[in-house]
């Protein structure tokens, strides 16, 4: 799973990036004016993996992973070259989803580029720049087709591009359009930014986080609800403090705040859910591991995530649900209580399934 972090300057994008990836980047990394993106790999926190590692004491523990790319802050006019421009947006055209960080916190020492705090305005600004970047891509493609000798398939593409261009000019993102499977194939290589699912992360200050009150909250929540966009309220400063504590102190600190899960863990989980992803688990003395698959993946296809030979020689999947293992307390008791199942190649793997594949090649 690949995530791209976008937003205006001074909203907390680098802090979110650091928390996800433990990169340790300084905000000065984006102050030179260079259009550069930063990419790191983050692990997806998973208490199931923690529990299974305690049970098995493996030589290696592997969590599911997310590739995260942060780009410099967009400003109004980026698509026309203002600020650092939008050339760096190519770095996130291939991501699975965009994490849009929005500022609600107040801090007189960190100036907002627009001079005031207005989350709804900022959301509209960034979305407009993404839309204009897509429009530029469409206009360039139309120009290339018209300048050359059109083939029959290009006439179909031209008609589609003109339709997309009209929609984008009317401020309609690509994801809002009804496209046929054939049309989706035609635009697949363009990786339009406005086709990507979004997750809104509103960065609050400590008082806002504790009270739940922040400027423009109702409007932003209505915006997210109307478009079915997941919205997370986080306080990056508190998240940073949590990340620096020892595990025991971390739980006490979070209990004092009335939270059971850090915002960064919630972000990883919400991204998984929003993209229709689940994890199946494998266990053993060598390794405890989470494997990322799409919802609706069959047992035989899941076996192929581990190795093509296992998929090719698939016989059966021995499955126990993580919740059943937790209740039983051990693999032996889970087996005694009848929680182990033998599933065939067409079984739809469920999130949290612990699977041992039987195969022969």
Nearest to 202 by CA among 233, 166, 170: 233
Q: Where in the chain is the domain with CATH 3.10.20.30?
A: 296-359
Four-way CATH pick for 2-271: 3.40.1780.10, 3.30.750.200, 3.90.226.10, 3.40.50.300: 3.40.50.300
Whole-model pTM: value is 0.87
- CA 331 from chain center: how many Å? 33
Q: Give the CA angle between residues 116, 118, 123 to the nearest 5°.
A: 130
Which architecture, in CATH terms, is 296-359? Answer: Roll (3.10)
Would you say 7 and 74 are in contact if contact means Cβ atoms under 8 Å apart? yes
- The token pair that represents 300 in the structure block: 């035989």
Q: Where in the chain is the domain with CATH 3.40.50.300?
A: 2-271
pLDDT tens for each residue of the chain, 361 residues long: 899 999 999 999 999 998 888 765 555 544 444 457 889 998 888 999 999 999 999 999 999 988 999 988 777 665 555 544 466 678 888 899 999 999 999 998 998 988 999 999 999 999 999 999 999 999 999 999 998 877 777 888 999 999 999 999 999 999 999 999 999 998 988 999 999 999 999 999 999 999 999 999 999 999 999 999 999 999 998 988 888 889 889 889 988 888 888 888 888 889 888 999 999 999 999 999 999 999 999 999 999 999 999 999 999 999 999 999 999 999 999 999 999 999 999 999 999 999 999 999 8
* Torsion of Cα atoms, 48 then 53 then 58 then 63, to 10°: 40
């Amino acid at each position: 799973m690949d995530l791209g972090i976008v937003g205006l300057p001074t909203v907390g994008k680098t802090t979110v990036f650091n928390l996800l990836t433990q990169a340790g980047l300084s905000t000065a990394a984006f102050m030179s004016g260079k259009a550069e993106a930063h990419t790191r790999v983050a692990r997806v926190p998973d208490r199931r993996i923690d529990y299974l590692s305690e049970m098995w004491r493996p030589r290696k523990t592997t969590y599911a992973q997310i590739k995260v790319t942060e780009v410099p802050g967009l400003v109004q006019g980026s698509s026309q070259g203002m600020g650092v421009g939008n050339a760096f947006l190519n770095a996130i055209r291939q991501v699975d989803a965009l994490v849009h960080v929005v500022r609600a916190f107040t801090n007189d020492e960190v100036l907002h580029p627009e001079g005031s705090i207005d989350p709804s305005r900022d959301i509209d600004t960034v979305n407009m720049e993404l839309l204009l970047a897509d429009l530029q891509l469409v206009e360039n493609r139309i120009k290339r087709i018209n300048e050359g000798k059109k083939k029959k398939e290009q006439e179909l593409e031209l008609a589609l591009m003109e339709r997309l261009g009209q929609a984008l000019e009317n401020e309609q993102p690509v994801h809002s359009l009804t496209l046929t499977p054939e049309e989706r194939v035609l635009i697949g290589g363009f990786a339009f930014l406005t086709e990507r699912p979004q997750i809104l992360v509103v960065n609050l200050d400590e008082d806002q986080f504790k009270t739940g009150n922040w400027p423009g909250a109702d409007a932003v929540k209505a915006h997210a609800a109307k478009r079915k966009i997941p919205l997370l309220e986080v306080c990056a400063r508190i998240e940073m403090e949590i990340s620096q504590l020892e595990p025991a102190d971390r739980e006490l600190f979070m209990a004092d705040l009335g939270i059971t899960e850090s915002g960064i863990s919630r972000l990883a989980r919400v991204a998984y859910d929003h993209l229709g992803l689940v994890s199946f688990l494998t266990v053993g003395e060598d390794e405890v591991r989470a494997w990322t698959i799409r919802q609706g993946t069959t047992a035989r296809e899941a076996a192929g995530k581990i190795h093509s030979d296992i998929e090719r020689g698939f016989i059966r999947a021995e499955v126990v649900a993580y919740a059943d293992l937790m209740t039983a307390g051990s693999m032996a008791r889970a087996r005694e209580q009848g929680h182990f199942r033998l599933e065939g190649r067409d079984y739809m793997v469920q999130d949290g399934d612990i699977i041992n594949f039987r195969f022969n090649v």
